[in-house]
Amino acid sequence: DDNTGGRRDSNLQRTGNDWIEVAFRTARAADPDAKLCYNDYNIDNWTWAKTQGVYNMVRDFKSRGVPIDCVGLQGHFNSGSAYNSNFRTTISSFAALGVDVAITELDVEGASATTYANIVNDCLAVARCVGITVWGVRDSDSWRSYQNPLLFDGNGNKKAAYT
């Protein structure tokens, strides 16, 4: 839950608090070599309750031997969820728990070159930040096309953020 940091109501949550743990343990049993990642949205700002809730879950999992190898931060940055300078703190804090970190689903409202550069530099500064996945190629194909969030415009031309 974005406001409380707890888990939101869902059919899975109604099965009990351990459903995520069960999923990770089951996946590891099925494939001991699989890289197991928890991937979520609205966990990129270190001060947010949801970020803290996920951080506490991962810390708990690591302390109890629940198999978790990485955390994915769905980086959908916009005016309601803007890039914050504490993003590097978020990445490094998860990494300090002994998990890799990936920036997944990255798109930035208006494709600010500065914001894209900050995100890339934050990832490069944290050894366990293993990758960045941009959530689409051209603005016209984006789920947020009206926000022009990607590295290429609707005609496939590079935008300033590409450089």
Q: What is the DSSP string of 10-49?
A: -TTGGG-TTHHHHHHHHHHHH-TTPPPEEEEES--STTSH
149 close to 110: Cβ distance less than 8 angstroms: yes
Q: Is residue 52 part of a domain?
A: yes
Residue type at position 23: A
At 6 the pLDDT is: 58
Tokens of 31: 């494939």
Strand partners, 73: 40, 103
What are the tens digits of pLDDT across the range 32-79? 999 999 999 999 999 999 999 999 999 999 999 999 999 999 999 987
Q: Is residue 2 part of a domain?
A: no
At 82 the pLDDT is: 80
Residue type at position 54: V
CATH code: domain of residue 69: 3.20.20.80
Tell me the CA distances in angstroms from 161 to 91, 115, 148, 150, one per residue in order.
21, 8, 11, 8
Q: Is residue 81 part of a domain?
A: yes
The low-confidence residues of the chain, meaning pLDDT below 50, are none
- Number of structural domains found in the chain: 1
Q: Is residue 137 part of a domain?
A: yes
Q: Is residue 105 part of a domain?
A: yes
Q: Is residue 4 part of a domain?
A: no
Which residues, including other chains, have CB under 8 Å from residue 55's CB and lie 6 or more apart? 93, 94, 97
**How many Å apart are CA 128 and CA 117, to the nearest integer?**
18
Tell me the CA distances in angstroms from 128 to 19, 46, 113, 123, one per residue in order.
27, 17, 24, 8
**Residues of the domain holding 147:** 36-162
Q: Is residue 31 part of a domain?
A: no
At 19 the pLDDT is: 85
For 75, phi and psi rounded to 5 degrees? -90, 75
Q: Is residue 21 part of a domain?
A: no
The predicted model scores a pTM of 0.88
